[in-house]
Amino acid sequence: MTPFGEAFRNIRRARNLLIKDIAEDFNVLPSVISSYDFGDRFPPAAYVLQIIEIYKLSPDEQALLRQAWHQTKLHGSSHLDTR
């Protein structure tokens, strides 16, 4: 699992959100959200900003998610979608 996947999953679970709930909020297939959650894909930066806005993350959660996103971008696996 990537740093982003782990941070995203922790935030999702802390809010009792299911993958299908987030997929509905973002109008994407649950498999897309699952791939971010498990670290199989890497979301674009705009997605991180949407998570922060939609779920009203605390400043600490925002910092954690952004840091995890940057760590994954720098050190994540080569198959991640970095668009």
CATH number at residue 20: 1.10.260
- Give a yes or no: residue 83 inside a domain: no
- Give a yes or no: residue 24 inside a domain: yes
- Give a yes or no: residue 70 inside a domain: yes
- Give a yes or no: residue 81 inside a domain: no
- Number of domains composing the chain: 1
- Give a yes or no: residue 50 inside a domain: yes
* Domain range enclosing 68: 3-75
CA distance 78 to 25: 28
- Give a yes or no: residue 82 inside a domain: no
Per residue of the chain (83 residues), give pLDDT as tens. Answer: 899 999 999 999 999 999 999 999 999 999 999 999 888 888 999 999 999 999 999 999 999 999 999 999 998 654 444 44
Degrees to nearest 5, angle at CA 58 with 31 and 51: 25
